[in-house]
Amino acid sequence: MAKGYWVSVYPAISDRESLTAYDELAGPAVRAAGGRLLSRGDRVVAHEAGITQRAVLVEFDSLEQAVAAYESEAYQKALVALPDGVERDFRIIEGTD
């Protein structure tokens, strides 16, 4: 079965302190749902378009598990803490076998 991934890119972060509050809630919610944080990097080596935005990659055992984690009550509570000053491009994608 193919794995599932959360891919988040943050084009704008105007309030890093509030983002930390989200991280503190999201981390336990993701782990409880079976997610594994592979990368949460502010250090990005960019090519082509040259965009060096914070990127986060989380792995799950399946796409279905990744979707269920996003829809979980614990993660939904974390989303409430995501500050208005944060712009995020979030996707759930299926890996290859």
Q: What is the domain-level CATH number for residue 32?
A: 3.30.70.100
Structural domain count, the chain: 1
Residue 29 is predicted with a pLDDT of 97
Residue 90 domain boundaries: 4-94
Token digits of residue 55: 């990127």
Residue 56 is predicted with a pLDDT of 93
Q: For the chain, which residues score pLDDT lower than 70? A: none
The alpha carbon torsion through 57, 60, 63, 68 (nearest 10 deg) reads -100
